[in-house]
Structure 1
Amino acid sequence: MADPKRQAKRVTRAERRAAEEAAQKAQAERAAKERKQQTIIGCIVVAIIVVLVAIGGFAVYKATHSSSSQATASDVNEAYKTLQSVKTKPENADDKAGFTISSKGYGKSVDGAPTVGIYMEPLCPGCAAVNQQLDPTLVKLMDAGQLNLELHFLNFQDNKSSDNYSNRAFNGAIYIAEHDSDPNHLMNYLSNIYAEDFQPGELTNYVPVDNSKLEEQAVKAGVSKDVAAAAFSGKNEYVDWLTASNNYTIQRPELFSSSGSFSSPTLTINGEYWALKNVSLAGLELKDGFLKAIGLDSNQVGVEGKMPSIGSSKKPIDITA
C-alpha cells in the first residue's frame, strides 16, 4: 500500500517541476518578446534616420569640388563676372540669377511679405521632396500676397543624364519665365517635372526624356502650346547663362550648409540660410516647420491680409527652440 507521505512528496516535486518549466517557458517568451521589440525599435531607428536624410537633409548633393569652403572671394567674384558677361540673359532674372515672383507677377515683390529663395536642380530627388511637400503651400501664400518667391535654377547634375536633361528641363523653365506672364504656370511646370511619376532617376537609373514629354508637362501647367513648343524646340538659348549662374551660385558662401559646401535643395528666408534638417530635429512636418519659421498659423495660409510675423526683413524663427 502506497505511503501517503511519499506520494505527497512526489506530487510536490511534480508540481515544482511544472512550476519551473512554466517559469522557464514564461522567461523564454519574455526574451522572445524583448527581441521582437528590439527589432521593431531598430527598424524605427533606421526609419527615422532615413527620414532625417530624405526629409531633413533632403538628399543633399555636393554640387562640385569647387563649391567647398575653400572657394575664395576671387573665385566668387570671377564667377559673378562670368555670369554678367553671358551674351543671352533672361530679362526677368536679377543680377544674382534669381527670378522673383509674387501675386504682382515677375520681378515685383509684395511689401511687408517675406521672400523665400529656392535653389533647385531638376534631377535632385531632395528638390522633388521639397516641391511635393511645400510648394502647394508656397503657391497659396504667393497668390494671397503673403509671400514672395525667388527661384534659382541649377544644372550641376546634367552629367547624370544621358541626354542633358537638366539643361533642357531648366532652359525650358527659364524660357517659360521669360515668355509667359503668369508665375503660376512656371510653378505648375516645376511641380509636374518633380512629380513622383515623372522625375527621372540618375546615372544608371536614368531613362531618357525627350523634349516632347517636357513640352507636354508645360502645356499641362497652363503654358500656351506656342510658348511650350518654343521652350523645348532644342535651341536651348539660355544654357550658357544657366551654367554660369550655376557656377556662381554654388560658390556663394552664404548658401553653404554646415558641411561647408553648397547642396541642393537650399532654401533661404529673407536672405538667411534655412537649414532643412532642423525640421526633422524639431519633430515637425516640412509645411508646419516652414510656417512656424515665418510666423504664420496654418489656418491663415491663403488668407489675404494675414501676414507672416517676420515680415520682409526679420530672420526666420528658430523652430528648434
Structure 2
Amino acid sequence: MAGTNSQDNRNKAAKRQARADRQAATAAAQQAQAEQAAKERRQQTIIGAVVVAIVVVLIAVIGIVVYHNVHKSNATKNLTVQDAYSQLQNVKSTPKGANDKGGFLISKDGYGKKVAGVPTVGEYFDPLCPGCANFNREVDPTLKSLMDAGQINLELYPMSFLDGSSTDQYSSRASGAIAYIAGHDDNPDHLVSFIASIYAANFQPEEGQNYKPVSDAALKEQALKAGVPESVASKAFGREYQDWLSAINTYTPKRPELWNTEGQNKGAMTTPTVTFNGTTLDMTKVSSLGMDLKTAVLNSIGLTSSQVGKEGQLPSIGASGKPVSLG
C-alpha cells in the first residue's frame, strides 16, 4: 500500500510539473508575442513618420514647381507683344539666318535672298501638329515648285509649343534641328525635304496619350535621307536654341496679325498659320467654302494650278498686295 501511494504521489508531482512547464511555455510565448508586437508597432511608427516626412517634402517640391509654372505662365500672359519681341531679340543663342521674328526666308536663290516682285508666303508650324502635317503634305510640294520657279519667296517659322504633348520634348528637338540645319546647310532643298520627312504619315508621331517616343537618332536619319550632310546632322540636336524657341512661343502668339478673325479660335493664333505678304489666310473661310488647301493658297496669291512652276508667270498680288478674297 505504501508503494502504491508513493507512486501516486510521483505521478501527481509529474503532472503538476508538466502543467507548470506548459504554463511557463505559454507565458514565455505570450511575452515573446507581446515583445514582437511592440517591436512591430515601433517600426510602423518609425516608417509612418518617415512616410509622412517624405510626403511633406514631395508636397513642398510639387508646390514649388506648380508655383513657378503658374508664375511663369502668368508672367508670359501679361507681357505685351513689344515686351515679348524685345525678349526674343535679347536671346543670346540664335540660329544663323533667322529673321527678327523667328523665320527663315528661302527662295530660288537660296537662304535670305528675296526675289523681287513676288509674294512672300509664310508658314508657322509645330512638328507635332497634325494639322501642320496635313498642310505640308497637301500644299508644300506646290509651294516648293512655286519657289523653285521664282514665283514666290517662302518663310518658315518653326515653333515648339506642343512639347507638353510628348514625353520627350519632341517639338523643340525637331524645331531646334530645323533651325540648326537652316543655319549650317547652305542648300535649302535639304531643309524643305527634312520638314517633309518628319511630317510623313509613316513617321510623324501622334500627340498626347498616344505619343510614342522618337529618338534623336531617328530624327537624324530623316535629316540624312533629306540630303543634310553628316557633319550638320550629327550636331543638329544639341538643343542650343531652346531659349530662342521658348521666346518664339511667347512672342508669336501675341502678334495680332496672326490671330484668327472668325470661328471658335477668333482672337487667337493657331497652327498651321499661313500668310501672304504678312496677311493671314482665313482657314475658317477655307473650310466653310469646302475649298481644298492647295486651291485656297493658289487663289489667294492669284495663280491657277496650270501656272505652278512656270517661270515668268507671277502671282497677281505681287510683293506687297493682300491675298485675293476667296469669296
Same-fold call, TM > 0.5?
yes
* Larger Cα-atom Rg: 2
Q: Distance in 1 between matches of 2:84 and 2:308?
A: 38
Root mean square deviation, CA, Å: 1.8
Offset from partner CA, 1:21-57 (integer Å, 9 cap, x none)? xxxxxxxxxxxxxxxxxxxxxxxxxxxxxxxxxxxxx
Structure 2 residue 211 is matched with structure 1 residue 206: yes
Residue 55 of structure 1 aligns with which residue? none
Give SS of 1:240's match: helix
Q: 1:307 aligns with which of 314, 320, 325?
A: 314
Structure 2 segments unaligned to the other structure (5+ residues): 1-71
**Does residue 246 of the first structure (1) align with residue 253 of the second (2)?**
no
Query: How far apart are the structure 1 equivalents of 2:313 and 2:73?
Result: 43
TM-score (norm 1): 0.75
Whether the aligned pair in 2 keeps the contact of 1:119 and 1:267 (CA below 8 Å) is yes
Is 2:260 the partner of 1:257? yes
In the TM superposition, 1:6-155 aligns within 5 A as 75-155=80-160
Any idea what SS the aligned residue of 1:263 has?
A: coil
Partner deviation per Cα, 1:235-263 (whole Å, 9 max, x = no partner): 21111111111211011111111311111
Write the deviation string for residues 212-257 of structure 1: whole angstroms up to 9, x where unpaired: 110011111111112111113xx21111111111211011111111
What fraction of aligned residue pairs are identical, expressed as a percent? 51
Which letter maps to 2:92?
K
Distance 1:156 1:213 in 2: 21
Contact 2:106 2:114 in 1 (8 A): yes
| 1:91 counterpart SS class | coil
CA distance in 2, matches of 1:79, 1:140: 35
Q: CA deviation at 1:170?
A: 0.7
Secondary structure of residue in 1 paired with 2:280: strand
1:229 matched to which residue of 2? 234
Cα distance in 2, alignment partners of residues 98 and 149 from structure 1 = 10
Secondary structure, aligned partner of 2:122: strand
2:302 to 272, 295, 319: 295
Q: Is the contact made by 1:153 and 1:246 (CA closer than 8 Å) also made in structure 2?
A: no
- Tell me how far apart the structure 2 counterparts of residues 203 and 223 of structure 1 sit (CA, whole Å): 29
Q: Tell me the distance in 1 between the aligned counterparts of 2:156 and 2:210.
A: 27
* Partner deviation per Cα, 1:280-307 (whole Å, 9 max, x = no partner): 3333221112111111111110111110
More helix by share: 2
CA deviation profile, 1:64-116 (whole Å, cap 9, x unmatched): 987x9xx67x6211111111111111120111111111111111111011101
Aligned residues: 252
Conserved 8 A contact 1:292-1:317: yes
- What's the TM-score once normalised by structure 2's chain length? 0.74
Distance 2:291 2:167 in 1: 37
Task: Flag as ranges the 4+ runs of structure 1 deviating above 4 A.
Answer: none
1:157 aligns with 2:130: no
| Correspondence for 2:274 among 250, 260, 267 | 267
Q: What residue ranges of structure 1 are gaps of 5+ in the alignment?
A: 1-63
